[in-house]
Amino acid sequence: MSFIQHKELKSSFGIILGNRDVFPDHLVKEGRKDIIYIMNELEYEYIILDEGDTPLGAVETYSDAKKCAELFKKNSDEILGVVLCLCNFGDEKAIANTLKIANLNVPVLIQASSDEIDKMDRVHRRDAFCGKISVTSVLYQYGIPFTLTKYHTCPIKSDIFKEDLKRFEKICRIVKKLRKTRLGQIGTRPNAFETVRYSEKILEINGISIEPIDLSEIFGYINQLNDDDPKVLDKAEFIKNYTSTSILPEDSLVKLAKLAVVIENWVVENELDGFAFQCWPSIVSNFGIVPCAVMSMFSEGLVPAACEVDISGLVGMYILQLASRNPSSIVDWNNNYGDDPNKMVLFHCSNFPKSFFQDSKMTVHPIMSEFNGEENTFGAIQGRVKTKPCTMLRIETDDLYGEIKAIVVEGKYTNDPLDTYGGYGVVEIANLQKLLKKLCRGGFAHHVAVSLNEIGDIVHEALFNYLGWNIEFFNK
């Protein structure tokens, strides 16, 4: 059950079939059937020329290119990306003209069908291997970015190409959503945390808009809610079913429920994709709870919520969520793990989505309670993170260079023993010491977004190749 139901983007692709007159036409006819079969099998929608629009429904001439481009432009709101299938060598100029005229500004996947050793005669030989190099050369000249398949050639109906398509769909989703992202900022950053400062202007020019609201306005909306409001009662029940709340006082439960109702109303009204929250110290002093559990529920419901008003960290969370379609979290690059140079502790105090945990419970805040009393600090989620591979992403707006920069790295949560508090886990990263030097010298914050999925290559391809961000894939 999602906390907020979001409309999913339709996975719809424009398909180009390449052809060249000196190569066998029947290969294109077979390829058309194959790609339509695969699109239906993967439940993707597609836009493709009819066989009556151009010979075989393929693109070979300038006239063909114009017809295909017009079809794509008519469906531009639906098309996430373009899939080019080279069933034979293909005509590189016609393909490039199609993309240029359509001007969709979406990712392009280039597939080339494999030749078979025993079918290299004039009737069966494709030469798509060579044609792919020709096409990519011309697209490079036109300034049109593209994505390559795992192997240079592969059959359209192969499992390898199916995985290429699934990966490509995630890349397209990141690119599409990031160009029109709306994020919320509740309150101001904690005074001491200059590490999470960011440039709203740099984000805006990259398609990411910020909708701020003062924490006092949130408190004002909360004060308008009665304890027995049906929405409050429903949300309180949701919280009790979300994780163990055996030690949660009734008044703290009601406060958390009211906070959740107000934030949800605000998120829906402003069509926000996620938000960052001023989780301390004001809400503890003025309202008597910590918001961690509420933020955890939003993140679990695929509305990422970052603590300490870390908007840049929130951007990272959102990207990882788009790439995996699973909840993401934000953590501290927190501590060494003994004297192992390639292991470290990732920790927060915590608002992790519950799917991150091996087991979780709601408690008083393990740090805030020492300073503000247990009665004012209920609402933290504690537990150990699952032993799984993970991807970590840190985004920054760099005012010195007027750009977004990022670093993405893959690692794995281990089962190494650790007795501590909050949300935590031990992570192993190859060449960790080199990574830490890069973080320090690059001015990156002490937070990092995390996904329990291996998606580093997808994130890098989308942000670097199509959005032009300055991102390093550390593992590569």
Q: Domain map of the chain by residue range?
A: 12-178, 181-473
pLDDT score of 119 more than 90: no
State mean pLDDT over 31-40: 98
> How far apart are alpha carbons 86 and 138 in whole angstroms?
15
Q: What are the DSSP E strand ranges found in 214-339?
A: 274-277, 305-306, 329-337
Who contacts 454 (Cβ-Cβ below 8 Å, separation ≥6)? Answer: 389, 390, 391, 410
Determine what percent of the chain is predicted with pLDDT higher than 90: 91
Q: pTM of the predicted model, to two decimals?
A: 0.96
pLDDT tens for residues 267-308? 999 999 999 999 999 999 999 999 999 999 999 999 999 999
| Per-residue model confidence (pLDDT) at position 21 | 87
Q: Give yes or no for residue 4 having a pLDDT over 70.
A: no
- Selected from 2.60.40, 3.40.1350, 3.20.14, 2.40.128, the CATH number assigned to the domain covering 181-473 reads 3.20.14
Structure tokens at 42: 């993967």
pLDDT in tens, 361-378: 999 998 999 888 888 999
The predicted-structure confidence for 388-429, as pLDDT tens digits, reads as follows 999 999 999 999 999 999 999 999 999 999 999 999 999 999
**3-7, 77-81, 115-119, 449-453: range with lowest mean pLDDT:** 3-7
Q: How many CA atoms lie within 13 A of 172 on its CB side?
A: 27
pLDDT band at 443 (very low <50, low <70, confident <90, very high): very high
Do 310 and 431 touch, CB atoms closer than 8 A? no
* pLDDT of the residue at 244: 83
Classify residue 56 by its DSSP letter. Answer: G
Q: Does position 39 have pLDDT exceeding 70, yes or no?
A: yes
The owner of tokens 């499992």 is 159
Q: Phi, psi (5° rounding) for residue 139?
A: -60, -35
> Would you state the pLDDT for residue 246?
73
Over residues 147-173, the mean pLDDT reads 98
Bridge partners of 390, per DSSP, are: 411
Residue 9 has pLDDT above 80, yes or no: no
* Average pLDDT score, the chain: 95
Q: How many CB atoms lie under 10 A from the CB of residue 209?
A: 15
311-368 pLDDT, tens digit each = 999 999 999 999 999 999 999 999 999 999 999 999 999 999 999 999 999 999 989 9
Cα torsion through 192, 197, 200, 204, rounded to 10: -140
Tokens 């032009």: give the residue. Answer: 468
- pLDDT above 50: residue 475: yes
Over the stretch 42-70, which tens digit does the pLDDT of each residue have? 999 999 999 999 999 999 999 999 999 99
> How far is it, in rounded angstroms, from Cα 270 to Cα 147?
34
Q: Which residues of 242-273 are buried (b: 16+ CB within 10 A; e: fewer)?
A: bbebeebeeebbbbbbbbbbbbbebbeeeebb
For residue 3, what pLDDT band results from cuts at 50, 70 and 90? low
Q: Which of 49, 109, 108 is nearest to 75 (CA)?
A: 49
Top CATH class of 12-178 equals alpha beta
Query: What are the beta bridge partners of residue 14?
Result: 47, 82
Q: Nearest 5°: phi and psi at 371? A: -105, -30
Q: What is the structure's pLDDT at 120? A: 85
The pLDDT value given to residue 334: 96
pLDDT value, residue 7:
58
- The conformation of residue 244, written as its DSSP 8-state character, comes to B
Region 157-165: what's the mean pLDDT? 98
Q: Can you give the pLDDT at residue 1?
A: 38
In this predicted structure, what is the pLDDT of residue 2? 47
